[in-house]
Structure 1
Amino acid sequence: MDLKLELLVLPVSDVGRAKAFYETAGFRLDLEKAVSENWHVAHFTPPGSECSILIGKGITSAAPGSVQGLYLVVTDIQAARAELVARGVEVSEVFHDAAGIIYHSHADGDVVHDGAGQERLAGPHPERASYGSFATFSDPDGNGWVLQEVTRRAPGR
């Protein structure tokens, strides 16, 4: 059985503001529809992705900004960060973990270490190891995104 993740719903407080942000970030607008003042959606796809996002009004009871840890995999973390910054998106500096630990997202929106004592270091992983370099950004409501550099997939992917 194939199960393909196709769409993620992101809660936002202002559809127009969120729409402008995702357009600025280079996401493709696939559909926008407003049926009433209480229901308005915009469907976006990140460049190169098969999974899309849906933002809107009247589509979820989740709090705006409550979705965290949305990973965007890139082959060149520095180039991806530079392109987003050039488009006007505030992106963290590239970082890696001192112990080479893979990160996950925490409920407060920050990407955190898997264990106590790890340290976030500036710059890409020194060996540019796949899964080892990161940068983060958020949409205007605080929904949190992580850029992760992957140049070679782990077995089974």
Structure 2
Amino acid sequence: MDMKLEVVVVPVADVDRAKNFYEDLGWRLDADVARGKDFRVVQVTPPGSPCSVIFGTGLSSAAPGSAEGLHLIVTDIEAAQAELADRGVEVSEVFHDAGGVFHRAGTEGRVPGPDAERTSYGSFASFNDPDGNGWVLQEVTTRLPGR
């Protein structure tokens, strides 16, 4: 049976601030529905993604800004990093991991610049939303078998 990830909940403190931030990234606004003052759901979708992000009021007991390691896959890490910077996002420089496999939590093991061989899955950049939820751009040019 196929199981497809279609929605990720991101905990935020200020729904309108988050909505503006994600729309400013160029993400499509899919829904903004309120049912009274205690429940609101906003759904946005990154360009080209089959998975959406929702946030709002009454959706999660997680602390605002506690999501980390949310990955956005791009085909050109340098172009994606530059586009975010042009949109006013405080985005890290492009980096790769000292171990050469996958980035670590936080900034430990980051080596400036893309992977020297531009190995697929090997180059990254990161940014946070206004609440501190952590996003990672990852360059993927050739998928692993079975993907």
TM-score over 0.5 (shorter chain): yes
Return the alpha-carbon distance in structure 2 between the equivalents of residues 111 and 98 of structure 1: 11
Compute the displacement of 1:111 (Å).
Answer: 5.7
Return the alpha-carbon distance in structure 2 between the equivalents of residues 88 and 25 of structure 1: 9
The answer to whether residue 31 in structure 2 is matched with residue 13 in structure 1 is no
CA RMSD for the aligned pairs? 1.2
Aligned position for 1:23:
23
Return the alpha-carbon distance in structure 1 between the equivalents of residues 99 and 52 of structure 2: 33
Compute the displacement of 1:99 (Å).
Answer: 3.4
Aligned position for 2:43:
43
SS in 1 for 2:88: coil
- Do the aligned residues in 2 keep the contact of 1:24 with 1:89 (CA within 8 Å)? no
Return the alpha-carbon distance in structure 2 between the equivalents of residues 6 and 21 of structure 1: 21
Return the alpha-carbon distance in structure 2 between the equivalents of residues 146 and 154 of structure 1: 19
Q: Could you tell me the TM-score, scaled by structure 2's length?
A: 0.95
Structure 1 residues 142, 86: closer, same or farther in 2, change over 3 A? same
- Do the aligned residues in 2 keep the contact of 1:96 with 1:134 (CA within 8 Å)? yes
- Do the aligned residues in 2 keep the contact of 1:67 with 1:143 (CA within 8 Å)? yes
Give the letter for the 2:33 counterpart: K
Return the alpha-carbon distance in structure 1 between the equivalents of residues 5 and 99 of structure 2: 31
Aligned position for 2:79:
79
Structure 1 gap segments, 5+ residues each: 113-118
Aligned position for 2:146:
156
Q: Percent identity of the aligned residues?
A: 62
Compute the displacement of 1:79 (Å).
Answer: 0.3
Return the alpha-carbon distance in structure 2 between the equivalents of residues 42 and 29 of structure 1: 8
Structure 2 gap segments, 5+ residues each: none
Per-residue CA shift, 1:23-46, capped at 9, x if unaligned? 111111000012222212210011
Aligned position for 2:118:
128
SS in 2 for 1:72: strand
- Do the aligned residues in 2 keep the contact of 1:73 with 1:150 (CA within 8 Å)? yes
The answer to whether residue 102 in structure 2 is matched with residue 102 in structure 1 is yes
- Do the aligned residues in 1 keep the contact of 2:11 with 2:67 (CA within 8 Å)? yes
Give the letter for the 1:54 counterpart: I
Consecutive aligned runs of 4 or more in structure 1 exceeding 2 Å deviation: none
